[in-house]
Amino acid sequence: MSKTIAIIKLVCLVFALTVINTSCSTKKDVLYFQNAKNAETIVDTNTFNARLKTGDILNIYISTPDLTVTEPYNLIESTGTSGGRLVDYLIDFEGNIDYPVLGKVKLEGLTIGEAKELFKKKFAEGKLLKDPVVIIRINNYRVSIFGQVNRPGVYPVTGERMSILEALSAAGDLAITGKRDNVLVIRDFDGAKTYTRIDLTSKEVFNSPVYYLTQNDVVYVEPNSFGVSRASGDARIGVLASILGLTATIILLFSI
Helix ranges (H only) for 34-128 are 112-125
Q: What is the pLDDT of residue 29?
A: 62
Q: What is the pLDDT of residue 48?
A: 76
pLDDT at 162 over 60: yes
82 & 102 share domain: yes
Task: Quote the CA–CA distance of 192 and 26 in Å, as a whole number.
Answer: 38
Q: Which of 157-161, 179-183, 225-229, 246-250 has the highest mean pLDDT?
A: 179-183
Average pLDDT over all residues of the chain: 82
Strand 133-138 and strand 57-63: the pairing is: antiparallel
Pick from 182, 66, 51: which is nearest to 131 by CA? Answer: 66
29-38, 115-124, 135-144, 180-189: least confidently modelled range: 29-38
What DSSP designation does 36 have?
P
Task: Quote the CA–CA distance of 64 and 78 in Å, as a whole number.
Answer: 23
Instruction: Give me the CATH number covering residue 168.
Output: 3.10.560.10
**Are 117 and 109 a contacting pair, CB within 8 Å?**
no
195 & 157 share domain: yes
Contacts 24+ apart (CB under 8 A), 65-70: 69/129, 70/129, 70/132
117 & 182 share domain: no
Q: What percent of the chain has pLDDT over 90?
A: 53
64 & 182 share domain: no
184 & 132 share domain: no
Residue that finishes a domain, picked among 82, 111, 138? 138
Sign of CA dihedral 246, 251, 253, 254: positive
Helices and strands in the chain: count of H runs, count of E runs: 5, 14
What value, to the nearest 5°, has the Cα angle with vertex 181 and ends 192 and 183?
A: 30
Residue that finishes a domain, picked among 138, 161, 181? 138
Per-residue pLDDT reduced to its tens digit, 203-256: 899 889 899 999 899 999 999 877 555 555 455 555 566 666 656 655 655 555
86 & 33 share domain: no
87 & 108 share domain: yes
Task: Name the strand (E) or helix (H) holding 8.
Answer: helix 2-21
Residue that finishes a domain, picked among 82, 108, 138? 138
Please state at what angle helix 2-21 crosses helix 225-255, rounded to 10 degrees.
170
240 & 186 share domain: no
- The domain in which residue 131 lies consists of 57-138
Domain count, the chain: 3
CB-count exposure of residue 226 (10 Å: 0-12, 13-18, 19+): buried
How many Cβ atoms sit within 10 Å of the Cβ of residue 102? 15
Q: What is the pLDDT of residue 228?
A: 57
Instruction: Give me the CATH number covering residue 85.
Output: 3.30.1950.10
132 & 156 share domain: no
Task: Quote the CA–CA distance of 66 and 72 in Å, as a whole number.
Answer: 13
Q: What is the pLDDT of residue 167?
A: 96
133 & 156 share domain: no
- Measured between alpha carbons, how far is residue 183 from residues 57, 67, 73, 137, 218 in Å? 28, 48, 43, 28, 11
174 & 247 share domain: no
What DSSP designation does 176 have?
T
110 & 72 share domain: yes
